[in-house]
Amino acid sequence: MTHKIKLEGLRVYGHHGVFEFERAYGQWFVIDATVWLDASAASATDDIGATLHYGSLADALVENAKVNPVDLLETLADRLLAVVFELGGESVQKAKVTVHKPNAPIEHEFGDVSVTVKGKRRDG
């Protein structure tokens, strides 16, 4: 059985970006993560230890996004996707992470800038 855990609007202050002022002053980023996993054991036993704890997922994503600044949202999104698979272990079948940069340095009015990456566990 496949279950879906969805975490939306996770805010973190980071220093990612290609411009020096982004690195120096930082800005807010917003992370969405969707994880498809087999949580059958967790639902059968009502045991949080048998599933991906969304609080632990939020902590891990925030801690990772706060350190080691990168130039590109693509790089950060890939890194956060790896965190999901590492934290979720073998139960994670596939995942999707979106990183939003609501204050991107664009000289035009805009609603959102984001990068989304998807992945699935490879067998073997």
120 in active site = no
Query: Which residue is listed with tokens 């807010």?
Result: 28
User: Taking the alpha carbons of 32, 38, 40, 42 in that order, is the dihedral positive or negative?
Assistant: negative
User: Taking the alpha carbons of 62, 63, 64, 65 in that order, is the dihedral positive or negative?
Assistant: positive
Taking the CA of residue 92 as centre, how many other CA atoms within 13 Å lie in the half-sphere pointing to its CB?
Answer: 26
Gyration radius of the chain over CA positions: 16
State how far the Cα of 98 lies from the Cα of 100, in Å rounded to an integer.
6
Candidate list 96, 101, 118, 120, residue with the active-site label: 101
Active site residues: 101
